[in-house]
Amino acid sequence: MNVLVTGATGYIGSHVCKKLKEHGHFVEAWDINVHGEYNDISGLVDRYLHRDFTKCEWWNRWLWPDAIVHLAGYAIVPISMKEPTKYYETNTLGTSSIIDLFEDCQPHIIFASSSSCFANVSPYARSKSGAEDIIKEKAAGYTIFRFFNVSGTNGVHRQVAPATHLIRRAAMAACGKIDKLEIYGDDYETRDGTCIRDYVHVEDLAQAIVNAVESGPMNTPYECLGSKKGWTVKEIISIMEQVTGKKLNVEIAPRREGDSVANLVDNLSPLIKLEKTIEDMCLDQYNLERSKNYDGNLRMR
């Protein structure tokens, strides 16, 4: 199949491109690298676009995609609280533009939504839920994935942009790359006072996306990609300490605006087969952070 991946050089996109090529698909990649850094996907794609293809008039009909894996977008909650317009324009209206561009070929739209849509307490979450509504109205066939906290690595491709995800920052603390790890609030109504999140390994998530490409549109309200388990912030820190043998320097900080108490899978998608554990996520991230070849996997603009 011909598959277009937006946000292809990002963390999830690079893993998805690799999986798609391993399954024999023709992969078209698009990214404008808004963070100024990106994963090297040379050899993993058949065509790479690095400009705004929504303004292109030269798209060959024979190359029109059978499926679009739409991963591109902004995803940092605290920034969305300060710059909501950017998030609505890119995540919501940008999704609408992509559907409009390819309306003649009506590809299967596979959308990277977010578990934060359950609470909808930030502009980031609302920009994603708005995109979900647009897809349901305008797309001929679709699969909407609500991603939970995506972690881990295939050992080569990595998260780009400033580190905000807990497991990545915990791994950085274990490697001594940061001198402390902040816990944003320890007075929530949970078992240890810290927020609860579900996590999914990026390799398992990428395979679920390939499964969606190959099986066709689900046309359901959403599909959850997680583990159907939940860990508190303190529990994740404890697991990182156990798998690395490192004691982390932890500091309690004030709550962050836009954080929900808990994000948990309500119904796990049949498209995902869980092969990786939370320990794998922590250890894989730690091994990448301390790898001597770490910087070699990063390309600067």
Instruction: Encode burial over 101-119: b for 16+ CB neighbours within 10 A, e otherwise.
Output: bbeeeebbbbbbbbbbbbe
> For 21, which DSSP code?
H
| Cβ-contact 127, 95 below 8 angstroms | no
Q: What is the spatial distance between Cα 119 and Cα 262, in angstroms, rounded to a whole number? A: 9
pLDDT of residue 52: 64
Residue 174 corresponds to which tokens in the numbers above? 């274990």
Nearest to 72 by CA among 129, 118, 14: 14
Instruction: Encode burial over 281-295: b for 16+ CB neighbours within 10 A, e otherwise.
Output: bbbbbbbbbebeeee
Amino acid residing at 101: L
CA dihedral 19, 22, 24, 26 (to 10 degrees): 50
Q: What is the spatial distance between Cα 68 and Cα 133, in angstroms, rounded to a whole number? A: 17
Q: Determine, yes or no, domain membership for 295.
A: yes
pTM above 0.85, yes or no: yes
Q: Determine, yes or no, domain membership for 278.
A: yes
| Cβ-contact 127, 177 below 8 angstroms | no
Backbone phi and psi for residue 131, each to the nearest 5 degrees, phi listed first: -65, -40
Q: pLDDT tens string for the chain (301 positions)?
A: 999 999 999 999 999 999 999 999 999 999 988 777 889 998 899 998 876 655 555 455 557 899 999 999 999 888 999 999 999 999 999 999 999 999 889 999 999 999 999 989 999 999 999 999 999 999 999 999 999 999 999 988 988 877 888 999 999 999 999 999 999 999 999 999 999 999 999 999 999 999 999 999 999 999 999 998 999 999 999 999 999 999 999 999 999 988 889 989 989 999 999 999 999 999 999 999 988 555 444 433 2
Q: Would residue 278 be called left, alpha or beta, if left means φ above 0 and alpha means ψ between -120 and 50 degrees?
A: alpha
Q: Determine, yes or no, domain membership for 172.
A: yes
Q: What is the spatial distance between Cα 276 and Cα 60, in angstroms, rounded to a whole number? A: 39
pLDDT of residue 297: 44
| Cβ-contact 8, 201 below 8 angstroms | no
96 class by beta-carbon count within 10 Å (0-12 exposed, 13-18 middle, 19+ buried) = middle
* CATH label of the domain that carries residue 243: 3.90.25.10
Instruction: Print the domain residue range for 280.
Output: 154-200+227-265+274-301
Q: Determine, yes or no, domain membership for 72.
A: no
pLDDT of residue 300: 30
Q: Determine, yes or no, domain membership for 283.
A: yes
Q: Determine, yes or no, domain membership for 233.
A: yes
Q: Determine, yes or no, domain membership for 36.
A: no
CA atoms within 13 A on the CB side of 8: 29
Residue 209 corresponds to which tokens in the numbers above? 């996306």
pLDDT of residue 296: 41
Q: What is the spatial distance between Cα 225 and Cα 151, in angstroms, rounded to a whole number? A: 12
Residue 9 corresponds to which tokens in the numbers above? 């050089």
Q: For the chain, what is the domain count?
A: 1
pLDDT of residue 25: 97
pLDDT of residue 301: 26
Q: Residue 60 CB: number of other CB atoms within 10 A?
A: 6
Q: What is the spatial distance between Cα 52 and Cα 33, in angstroms, rounded to a whole number? A: 11
Q: Determine, yes or no, domain membership for 125.
A: no
Q: Whats the size of the chain, residue-wise?
A: 301
